[in-house]
Amino acid sequence: MGRRFIRSFGAQAIITAASLLLAAGAAHAQDAALIAKGEYVARAANCVACHSVPDGKAFAGGLKMATPLGNIYTTNITPDPEAGIGGYTLEDFDAAVRLGVAKDGHRLYPAMPYPSYVKMSGEDIKALYEYFMKAVPAAKQANLASEIPSPLNMRWPLAIWNVLFVDMDQYEPKPNQSAEWNRGAYLVQGPGHCGACHTPRGIFWQEKALDEGDSDYISGAMLDHWLAVNLTQDGNSGLGRWSHGDIVRSLKTGQTPFGTAFGTMVDVVNNSTQFLSDADVAAMATYLKSLPGAMEKNATPWAYSSATTDLIRKHDFTAPGAKVFFQQCRACHVDDGKGYGDYLPPLAGNPAALAQDASSLINIVLNGSLRLVVGGTPDGYRMPAFRSLLNDQQVAEVVTFIRNGWGNKAPAVTPAQVAEIRDATDFATDKVVVLKMK
């Protein structure tokens, strides 16, 4: 009798232990899956680009950001309990990310794109929280104080700003659109926060539109002396000539037949869009191709012309800027302005060359470009900086020459415009933030 009891009890104990192990294994698998999803959401939201600096610890903050009121610095969002967000509950985290309110109650400046993140789903926010709390290494790096002078640094007016300019609702799928379109709209409007850079701002620094219901949405905007390009179907400076595949390729590689990613878009490709699934990138392209766009004021539709090519090949340098182009630009961008395919971008029909605002073209000539890193491989054909080689007059002339060559028709550039950007900017760094995730 005793032996049978012991045998029975032992069997039951084994069964119970096995059940507990299976349950623990299932819980661990669920936890791992949630963290993996959170990592993916962090990629889609490109958290690392703003909350990290070259050679710094991932997500430890410290990136300097210019605002109309003064400079601010991004914060430490690692799980360090003192310097970071280690003391945040899920509710605290949700309030900071989607509503712009920190744990201690102070309002975040809308340089943190919570007007876009508010559209994110509760499931994505929970996954993102699990990732930051359980997979991101803690970094004991103190946050830097803003350089906004008093009384302009008061935060309470932001509560009024939010009421006036932020739609506090999560994204709601449009029943008259496909599942792919809705997924693309969610990614572009929400975690991707494309509008934060590509939508023009009003006098109170608010985005003039938050979705496709307004023609201002992602129609192009200035950002730190770069023109974040028009993402609507404008035929010149927008995506009107781009195919669905061109948009997919741009998001995955930073390269298209029309040009190469520049400015902060390099960070987006390096740390975000290249890592998204093919289905998600295709959905974003579907959404973007659906947005109507109008030609910029005073712009005419672009059509290629070989007249500039003929002059260059004849060594006719009578046009201002022609000789500088021949000496400094021709080797990479070619006589015909068409560049070298996937390697060196065209200038003929390039949206940055056709835009009414020449800031991006001036900036990249002066300072060069950041390095694209796709699939772990740095781009070997990075645009060099010419600020030490060319003076303001020469830059103005060669940019004007480019903006009116090969069928391009855009306003001339003045030396004063070049001088302003020269004084406000610096060389593009060789170092870029490229976060390695699992």
Q: Is 90 exceeded by the pLDDT of residue 152?
A: no
Mean pLDDT for the stretch of residues 361-373: 94
pLDDT in tens, 243-253: 999 999 999 99
Q: Is 50 exceeded by the pLDDT of residue 5?
A: no
- Helix then strand count (H, E) for the chain reads 18, 8
Q: Is 80 exceeded by the pLDDT of residue 433?
A: no
Is residue 224 very low, low, confident or very high in pLDDT (cuts 50, 70, 90)?
Answer: confident
Residue 260: predicted pLDDT: 92
For the chain, percent of residues with pLDDT exceeding 70: 91
Q: CA-CA distance, 386 to 403, in Å (whole number)?
A: 18
pLDDT in tens, 6-46: 455 566 656 655 555 555 555 556 789 999 999 999 999 99
Domain segments of the chain as ranges:
28-167, 171-438
Give the predicted TM-score (pTM) of the model.
0.90
pLDDT in tens, 67-106: 888 899 999 999 999 999 999 999 999 999 999 999 999 9
Helix/strand/coil for 113: coil
Is residue 2 very low, low, confident or very high in pLDDT (cuts 50, 70, 90)?
Answer: low
Q: CA-CA distance, 74 to 169, in Å (whole number)?
A: 25
Mean pLDDT across the chain: 91
Is residue 109 very low, low, confident or very high in pLDDT (cuts 50, 70, 90)?
Answer: very high
Sign of the CA dihedral 113, 116, 122, 123?
Answer: negative
- Look at 286 and 229; give whichever has higher pLDDT: 286
Mean pLDDT for the stretch of residues 48-72: 90
Residue 412: predicted pLDDT: 97
Tokens 């900086």 belong to 385
For the chain, percent of residues with pLDDT exceeding 90: 77
Is residue 239 very low, low, confident or very high in pLDDT (cuts 50, 70, 90)?
Answer: very high
CATH code at 171-438: 1.10.760.10
